[in-house]
Structure 1
């Protein structure tokens, strides 16, 4: 018997009369709120208009939820369309199962639409919200704790996570404690947010480089937490699908960092004249010795 362990919640749902309040959903909502709040502060601190981040995020969040669920269902189809699967459960987002890769990809499409509607630079928006997204992921991972899902391999370490028998895999029904990968990733994400905030200030990261740094740092941590997990997943050459995705996305983020640093050194200009609108030139303000090809943060352009 283990002398110490991390307990799991007995339930992830509280009932307010007939209304179920699901902890997983609250974790996601709280994470979104934190991301918007921090992103808005960063945007305003650099001369941007208040409320822009929230306006764009209204587009990004629903797209991200759909993308996250689609990625999960596509990469784990047996649970919904297999021999004993229930297709209707693909719609049960509140029970867990959101793939971050799909959420970021389709959420980015929604954010791009929102940026186009507001006449602002999509890379500039991504830079502003990058550390907030990391914190949102750190908070959202606690939803896995409430649902007792996505835990790691068995362990006897003092911080091993106790999983109820009903939530264990069929071949480990007699094993009680596992690596708390939700906690590992949550702590890593907090560290990523701190790294991004420091680096953006220290090295004047702009033109999408802040977001690229977040992606590179996150995927580095996701690789090793994913390696610990034992939930069902497709594998290729001995590694889980999400491990390979982490490697590919990490390399892509590094390339973006290097290319952007060469083509667009420095940060974006977020200043707006008093009569600035949402057109192509809104947000531009004459600056001495501005190099040809530089773009301001409030210029309209595709990401």
Structure 2
């Protein structure tokens, strides 16, 4: 009986129909990771939460996140296409039974063994079995392929690296806020769709309790246009953006609001009021700006400072800028 090891990464060499022997086998071993599961879901479109959501999976039959059944099947396909017979193989059919779930961290070995050769059409039949690290069978099946006639030996194609781009890092911050009371927030001039929607969505998420400051008629008209319910929120009616900035900062200065949120007004309009010595929000430190960034190539949210207020900071200014970011974090 001949046995073929896992595919070499540097060279691809197939086994022709004439070279294949009954009882010959090959294998491929892989460990299931969360990235594998998410990538398989992305490619296949199978977004069953039993594979993707730990909380949902905990209440399922298997009480844990499991891999897609066809992930094991893909290992069988990998052996057939890359090792035995290898390059030039035509997949004809695959019968498969799923015996046991594969969980995150499980190491699965797919083994295929030649059971039959049909010379008339160069069909080869394989017995297929996938076992986990404990020797437990997870998948079985029968595969039929048309084996290649011509010998191939060549350098393996270099596969690209895969980067999973995520947009959910802010969710971790939002989760931490769920146990906190909403922040009473003066929203200065929320007079376009995005700024008003941002305030309403933040309120609905339990992050803020907004005080909407601006021309009341315009704010209500915008809410109706965008289907936003602003009835639960206090509106402070002022004529224009300058007055909205002044009123928002005054509420924060007096302690009637805990934060100020910028709406659809220029930054300098708001900052003029913020930096006033007597009525503004100045402290012993220099004012600075912080972005919370969701960067696909970094595993956590990043705080980036300063990118909006201090254009040419001195070394002393940078001390305050850094300390502000630390305190915010």
TM bin, normalised by shorter chain, reads under 0.3
Greater radius of gyration (CA) = 2
Structure with the bigger percentage of helix: 1
Point out the structure with the larger strand share.
2
TM-score, with length taken from structure 2: 0.20
Which one scores higher on RCO, CA 8 angstroms, separation ≥ 6? 1
